[in-house]
Amino acid sequence: MMRVAIKFMVFTVLGLVLLVGLYFLAAFVLSRLSVHRAENAKPEVAIYLLSNGVHTDLVVPMVHPVMDWNTYISVTDTKDPAFDAKYVGFGWGDKGFYLETPT
């Protein structure tokens, strides 16, 4: 009975060591593979995440080859229409909580 328990423990430990070893081997081998970008891939867009702890905004370039937000957003609708905006932020969150939270 004791011999069976020891054999079971040895195989369990060897199995765990083998699994961990296979994991690290796979991580090493797969991290060496390179992926080539398709020649017709669209240009990348830098997207920023802005948060003040209460409200979160996604900030994107106003004009980019992929998207021109001037077709959807008018600068005249802002507080300073003379401002030449390079980025636009889209926020979400509870409007009441955002407006009524003391700074």
So what's the pLDDT on residue 103? Answer: 65
Distance between first and last Cα of the chain:
70
If phi > 0 it is left, if psi is from -120 to 50 it is alpha, else beta; for residue 93 that is left
Give me the percent of the chain exceeding a pLDDT of 70: 89
- Residue 69 and residue 84: Cα distance in Å, rounded? 13
Q: Across the chain, which distance is largest between two alpha carbons, in Å?
A: 86
So what's the pLDDT on residue 25? Answer: 96
Q: What is the pTM of this model?
A: 0.49
So what's the pLDDT on residue 52? Answer: 75
Give me the percent of the chain exceeding a pLDDT of 90: 31
| pLDDT digit string, tens, across residues 34-71 | 877 667 666 788 899 988 777 788 999 988 888 888 88
- For the CA atoms of 91, 97, 98, 100, the dihedral, rounded to the nearest 10 degrees, stands at 160
